[in-house]
């Protein structure tokens, strides 16, 4: 099979998977966009839990995201609280009910299937990560990665439990390094505006 055909098969498979996943996103009285927002807020760090970062992650308009957030707030799944030191900006906090609902995330069905793929699943994860990174780089899309792969992450300054973010001048708890970040900049990249 030629490289063009392989590339076409990869694109088709991802497109079909995306469609199936989205069609399963009508569960627990939520729609796919509401699940995507809930999932993001369950995974992002404290620098990224705001409407603007969410709109960027979802590649959606601020108006669309605002409607999604209002729906989640009405259902008691998130609350908006003032962001200290950021004027009128808001932080989006999942409520206990919102966190609990993530245990019923329909995307877990995909994770279960992926977990059954056998020993090559690590390589597949690596290749998919590379594909995503290339795509983001090509189109200038924010990476939303984790600290370990960020050019601003400094784990030399560590007391065992915290590291440092050179961009934000903040101490980062070890547990936070596993969360996704709107300010993440891949090593070797100059950053996205």
Q: What's phi and psi for 188, nearest 5 deg?
A: 90, -10
Of the candidate residues 30, 93, 172, 192, the single one contacting ligand SF4 (CB under 6 A): 172
Contacts 24+ apart (CB under 8 A), 12-19: 17/110
Q: How far is the CB of 136 from ligand SF4 (least distance, A)?
A: 14
Interface region with ligand SF4, contact rule CB under 6 A, candidates 10-18, 57-65, 115-123, 163-171: 163-171
Q: If binding is defined by CB under 6 A, does position 40 make contact with ligand SF4?
A: no
- Residue 106 DSSP label: T
Alpha-carbon distance of 27 to 36, in angstroms, equals: 12
Of the candidate residues 35, 57, 144, 152, the single one contacting ligand SF4 (CB under 6 A): 152
Of the candidate residues 150, 162, 169, 191, the single one contacting ligand SF4 (CB under 6 A): 150
Query: And the tokens for 139?
Result: 């189109």
Q: Which residues on neighbouring strands pair with residue 164, listed in sequence order?
A: 154, 171
Q: How far is the CB of 179 from ligand SF4 (least distance, A)?
A: 8
Q: How far is the CB of 22 from ligand SF4 (least distance, A)?
A: 27
Q: If binding is defined by CB under 6 A, does position 181 make contact with ligand SF4?
A: yes
CB atoms within 10 A of CB 146: 17
Which C-beta is closer to ligand SF4: that of 14 or that of 167? Answer: 167
- Residue 27 DSSP label: B
- Residue 102 DSSP label: G
- Three-class SS of residue 97? helix
Q: If binding is defined by CB under 6 A, does position 53 make contact with ligand SF4?
A: no
Alpha-carbon distance of 15 to 9, in angstroms, equals: 10
Number of chain positions touching ligand SF4 (CB under 6 A): 13
Alpha-carbon distance of 169 to 183, in angstroms, equals: 12
Q: If binding is defined by CB under 6 A, does position 142 make contact with ligand SF4?
A: no
Of the candidate residues 133, 137, 168, 189, the single one contacting ligand SF4 (CB under 6 A): 168
Interface positions with ligand SF4 (CB under 6 A): 45, 47, 147, 150, 152-153, 165, 167-168, 172, 181, 183-184
């Amino acid at each position: 099979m030629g490289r063009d055909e392989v590339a076409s098969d990869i694109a088709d498979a991802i497109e079909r998977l995306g469609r199936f996943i989205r069609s399963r996103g009508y569960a627990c009285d939520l729609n796919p966009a509401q699940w995507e927002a809930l999932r993001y807020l369950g995974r992002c760090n404290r620098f990224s839990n705001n409407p603007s970062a969410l709109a960027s992650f979802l590649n959606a308009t601020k108006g669309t995201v605002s409607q999604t957030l209002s729906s989640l707030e009405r259902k008691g799944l998130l609350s908006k609280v003032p962001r200290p030191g950021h004027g009128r900006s808001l932080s989006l906090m999942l409520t206990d009910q919102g966190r609990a609902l993530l245990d019923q995330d329909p995307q877990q069905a995909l994770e279960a299937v992926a977990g059954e793929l056998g020993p090559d699943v690590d390589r597949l994860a690596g290749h998919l990560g590379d594909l995503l990174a290339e795509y983001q780089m090509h189109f200038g899309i924010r990476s939303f990665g984790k600290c370990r792969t960020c050019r601003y992450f400094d784990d030399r300054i560590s007391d065992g439990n915290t590291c440092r973010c050179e961009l934000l001048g903040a101490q980062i708890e070890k547990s936070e390094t596993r969360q996704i970040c709107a300010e993440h900049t891949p090593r070797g990249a100059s950053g996205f505006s």
